[in-house]
Structures are given as structure tokens and as C-alpha cells.
A and B are shown apart, each in its own frame.
Chain A
Amino acid sequence: MAGEAPLIEFRKVTKIYGQGEAEVRALDGASFTIKTGEFVAIMGPSGSGKSTAMNLIGCLDRPSSGEYLFHGVPVASLDRNQRALLRRNYLGFVFQGYNLLARRSALENVELPLIYKGIGRAERKQRAFEALSKVGLKGREHHTPSELSGGQQQRVAIARALIANPDVILADEPTGNLDTKMSREIMQLLCDLNDNEGMTIIMVTHEEDMAEYAHRLIWMVDGKVERDGKPSGGGGKR
């Protein structure tokens, strides 16, 4: 998987939901490449296909047409199990709707990826505690999502995404429910992971402010990449 191939490459990727009258082109021939170590923000109007693109990048879904290469490997050629392994070993998700296990504590939610990596209980617990304290949730380890605020739930989701040290973190509006101060802290955390651990960060956001933390901004409209370049402020927040 080494070599010169970029980490992520979309070649004219189209994703169509529904059929006939109800057909929706969530992605419509989107092409871009993302290299290892980049911090990319994806912006665009609601319904422009950002989450759809994230799901495809995350190998949760497959394109209707076009090609998606991960480390140069066409994901379409991988079977269900190989895609699961790819998610397990390379990818960390922060979903738009958090997607936490409702009746599990924050700690149990965060340790989930490590269970499937086959890591022992003691180490799991310890790493989950660390991850939670990184996102500022020390002391909330045993609360269930319903006992946490929206922002806190979002941070649990972030802790879960980064706990397994993935190559890529896919964050769909990770600061959507956070106040400015917390948002900054989270962005700082993502920047640290990007700078110090070399993690590639791909983040969907609606806020120009947050996009300023990225190296690069992909602007999507109607399932197409409309603009791809430096954030308007030049990424000055780094």
C-alpha cells in the first residue's frame, strides 16, 4: 500500500439514491485527491453531498459509478470483510449525528473500536480514559449519552474516532453543536493530531471559521466539486 499513490483518490465518483422519479444524485462526478498528512475541510450547502462523500471515503458505502482508490487500491474490488478491516485499521469516524450506543457509558462507547482490534480489557479502559480526557470529558466516563449534552456527546464521538490511532479521521461537522471556545479546543486537538501524529483529517463544516484550521478547502455544490484550494483566509488559523 506504499508507493506514490495518494491516500485518497476520487475519480468521477457518482452516487445515486433512489430510482426513476425519486432519483437523487447525491454525488455527481466528484473528483479529488487527498494526500497523507493533509487537513482538508469540505464545505457546501446542505444537501450538496458532503456526508455522502464522507461515507464513501469511509468505505461504508460504494459509488454508483466512478472509482475510489484508497492507497491506490480500488475500494470496489474489496469485499465486505476487507472493507471492515480497512475501517478498523485506517479510519476513524465522527458522524454528523454522533451515532453513539445509547445505553452504553461514554467509556464503553469510546473503547468500542479497540474491542474489534482485539485489545485487552485493561488497556482498552486505560486508552479510553485517556481519549476522553483529551476531549475534556474527564469525570464523565460513566455517563450514558442521554446524560450528556449535545456537545459532550460530540466529544465522545471524537474520542471514539481517535482512540485507535487511525491514519485518517473523517469528521462530519465535529463542532456543529459546540460553543466557540469548545470548538476551538476541538480544532486544536485535530490540528495536534494532524501535526504531531501525522493523521490525515477530513472534516465537513458549515463554519468558515473552522475551515480556517485546514490546509485546504473543497467546496461542493450539487454533488460536484466547485472549488478546491486554500481556505479563504489562507488557512491562517494554523
Chain B
Amino acid sequence: MIWETIRLAVQAIFRNTMRSVLTVLGIVIGVAAVIAMVTVGEGSSSQVTADVEKLGTNIVMIMPGGMEQGPRTQSVAEAFKLKDVEAIIDQIGSVDTAAPYAQTSMTAIYGPESTTTQVVGTDNRYLDAVDWPLVMGRAFLNTEETSGRPVCIIGETVRQNLFGNTNPIGETIRLSSLTCEVVGLLEAKGASSFGTDQDDVVGLPIKTFQRRISGSSDVAMIFVAVQDGKSTDRVMGEIKALMRERRRISEGEEDDFTVMDMKQIAEMLSGITDVLTGLLSAVAAVSLLVGGIGIMNIMLVSVTERTREIGIRLAVGAQSSQVLMQFLVEAIVLSVIGGLIGIILGLVLAIFASNMMAIPFAPNPAVVGGAFLFSAVVGVVFGYFPARRAARLDPIEALRHQ
């Protein structure tokens, strides 16, 4: 009997193909949007995780400003100094190396060419820590680092923008009032998971940066590389204790700095994508709702048009519940077909988007299954009212209907 009902529903749907297509459009768009959104969202999350892993799971970052008090405190909290970097290296075991890090956005000029780029003050230990090799020239010399010489290492994008494909080593570029010599070229890394170009960078010795660019001895961030196989959690705990002591934070007071490892950063970043995905999916869900109302509308029209048919069925012995089932199943089949088309369309869209954004295509079976179920539920909910109307028709009135 149920197969009979489904067969009947499919027949009824294909009898008026054009109308059926328009009816399910809302469901198709809603489901496609949800599927595409979630799939791309999960793809970029897993890309973030992969990127962070590439950066090194052994990296720990230290910033001024407490996590709990919010980012506002970052400016209030006392900045780190170069001495803090040395203290970490000297006093904490299991640390491979540590490096200062400060950064600002500036225009770099070479002859007639200019480009806006990220200028970073750090030292060779940073390149070690994040495992970033040079492809041309050399790293900073010890003397250049200690005396703050005007030399720089540039990323591939800066080289492209200023020098084209010519050799930049030995040339001088201008950063505001600072003229510095290019001594090294970094290996190209490509875009990070957030589309920021990691190769759009000019690196200076931290002392040069402090003296000539920021004009203060502050260090915005400290990168610490933990020795392979050692627990970052333990090192983080030790760093916290050391920093509390150095910053004279008394017992019971909150940290005025933040220590994070890459795992936490990855979680934070994918948290952001999750929120975005959630928001967009909510919008898409609204369109599913609208699609459901569309189905209800057309089913009501269909019940009116087919009043005589309903009368005939009742006259030959159909029970109300069977008529109800007939129309309910029709609504469900309609919305499920819409759901299936939407799922396929959404996955195709996600494949395209993933390709374009260079992230992995990560379809989630649970989400696909959920969307399918949801479209069936839409059919039940919005098909019920028209179906009940059909089931309650009076047989004689229905037969008399023209």
C-alpha cells in the first residue's frame, strides 16, 4: 500500500512537471546553500588545522594582555622586552629556541616601484622556529642583529612586486626613512588559510625595527619552539610561572599576558569559521522554511484542483486516512526530491568553491543526511495541512465540484 501511495505521488508530481520544479525550488536552494556552506566551512577548518600543523605543533606564542580581560588590556599590559626572550631560553628546559616578534604595515619602495607590506622585526631564531628556509642570499649576521644594522630579508611577493624576477640580493629598498639592504629571499609559502599572503613580508633585525620603525624597545610577541617530543603544555606552564615572576604578579591575581600553543590557535580560528558557517546556515535554513511554505501553497492549490478526484476515491471506499496519506506522501516526495537535488547541487557548488579557495573538499555525511531528513520533515510539516483538508472533504460535495 505504501509503495502504491508513493507511485501515485510520483505520478502526480510528474504530471505537472513545470509546477513541481517551481514548487521545490525553495527547498533546492535552501538545502544547496546549507550543504555548500557547511562543506566549505568544514573544508576551511580542516585547512586551518593543516596549516597550523605545518607551521609546527611545537610552537608556543606569548602576548601581553590577559585572555580573560579581552584584547583591550593588550595595550594596558606591560609589553615584553628582549630580556624576556633571553630569560625563556636560559631558564626553561625543553625549549629549542625563542624569538621576538613585532610587526607593522608599511610601504616599501624600490626605484619607481612601491608596495604595501608587512614589516616584521625579529631575528634568525624565528626562521628556525617556524622552519622557514631562505632560497637566496643569507640570514642576518650576528653583528647585524646585535647592532641593529639596516638589512632585510624579503618574501617572494615583495620580490615580485619590487624586483620582478630579477635578483634582489644586494639591492636597497626604502621603508619610510629607513634605507636597508636586501640580504636574503625567503622560500615562497603561499596563502595562509585566511587568504593572507604570508610571502608579503619584509623581515628586519628586531633591534633595527625597534630603533628605526617602532621607536620603542617593546616586543609584541614571543615565539617559542619546544623541543621535539616534549609536551607544549608543560612548557607553557613553566613559561607562565616565569613570566608571572618576572612581571611581579602576586598570587591570586590574573595573568596580564597570554600563552598559547598552535593547537589553541587552531581551535580559535576554526571556532571563528564555525560561527560564520553557523550564521550563514541559519540564513539558508530560513530559505528552507520559505520553500516549505511554497510546498504548502501548491499542495493547497492541488487539493482544490483535484477535489473531484478525491470525491471519486472516497466514493469507491478510500478512507480519510488514505486520502491524507496520499497527499502527505506527495508533499514528502516533492520535498525529498527537492532535498536530493539540493544536496547534489550543494556538493557541486562546494567542489567548485573548494577548488577556488584551494581548501580540501570535505563533505560531511551527517550534514548531508541531516539535510535530507530535514527536507522530509519540511514535507511532513507543510504537507499536513493541505492533506488534512483533502481528507476532510465531504464525498458528495467533492463529487459535485467542477
Chain A residues with a Cβ under 8 A of chain B: 55, 58, 60-61, 80-81, 84-85, 87-89, 93, 95, 99-101, 103, 112-113, 115-118, 121, 160, 164
Contact = CB atoms under 8 A, between A and B. Distances in A.
Contact of B315 (A60, A81, A117): A60
Contacts of B318: 84, 88, 116
Contacts, number: 59
Contacts of B319: 80-81, 84-85, 116
A60 B308 contact: no
A116 B310 CA distance: 13
Contacts of A115: 4
Contact of B312 (A61, A81, A112, A164): A112
B396 A113 contact: no
Contacts of A160: 316
Given A101-B309, A101-B312, A103-B15, A95 B317 contact: no
A81 B322 CA distance: 10
5 contacts: A58-B315, A81-B319, A81-B320, A85-B317, A95-B399
Contacts of A116: 313, 316-319, 322
A103 B308 CA distance: 12
Given A80-B320, A89-B317, A93-B316, A99 B1 contact: no
Interface string B295-319: 0000000000000110111111111
Contacts of A80: 319-320
B320 A113 contact: no
Contacts of B321: 81
B317 A84 contact: yes
A87 B396 contact: no
Nearest to B7: A121
Q: Which of A89, A95, A116 has the most CB atoms of chain B within a 10 A radius of its CB?
A: A116
A112 B313 contact: yes
Contact of A55 (B308, B320, B322, B396): B396
A95 B314 CA distance: 13
B395 interface: yes
A4 B156 CA distance: 105
Q: Which of B313, B316, B395, B399 has the most CB atoms of chain A within a 10 A radius of its CB?
A: B316
Nearest to B317: A88
A175 B13 CA distance: 36
Interface residues of B, number: 20
A225 to B, nearest CB: 22
Contacts of B322: 116
A58 B319 CA distance: 15
A87 B320 contact: no
Contacts of B311: 99
A99 B399 contact: yes
B396 A60 contact: yes
A99 B4 CA distance: 22
Nearest to A113: B316
Contact of B396 (A61, A84, A89, A112): A61
A99 B320 contact: no
Nearest to A124: B4
Nearest to B320: A80
Contacts of A81: 319-321
B315 A99 contact: yes
A84 B322 CA distance: 11
A87 B399 contact: no
A167 B59 CA distance: 88
B177 to A, nearest CB: 85
Nearest to B323: A84
A103 B312 CA distance: 13
Nearest to B322: A116
A99 B400 CA distance: 10
Contacts of A61: 395-396
Contacts of A89: 317
A187 to B, nearest CB: 23
B316 A87 contact: yes
Contacts of A101: 309, 312
A88 B309 CA distance: 16
A85 B316 CA distance: 9
A61 B315 CA distance: 10
A93 B322 CA distance: 19
A61 B318 CA distance: 15
A115 B396 CA distance: 21
Query: What are the 3 A-B residue pairs with the smallest beta carbon separation, nearest first?
Result: A88-B317, A113-B316, A84-B319
Given A85-B317, A87-B314, A121-B4, 11 more contacts: A60-B314, A60-B399, A80-B319, A81-B321, A99-B308, A99-B311, A99-B399, A116-B317, A116-B318, A116-B319, A116-B322
B16 to A, nearest CB: 10
Contacts of A88: 316-318
Contacts of A112: 312-313, 316
Nearest to B395: A60
A117 B317 contact: yes
A93 B315 contact: yes
A101 B12 CA distance: 12
A206 B298 CA distance: 43
Interface string B162-176: 000000000000000
Interface in B319-334: 319-322
A53 to B, nearest CB: 13
Contact of B314 (A84, A100, A117): A84
Q: Which of B308, B315, B317 has the most CB atoms of chain A within a 10 A radius of its CB?
A: B317
A112 B396 CA distance: 18
Nearest to A112: B316
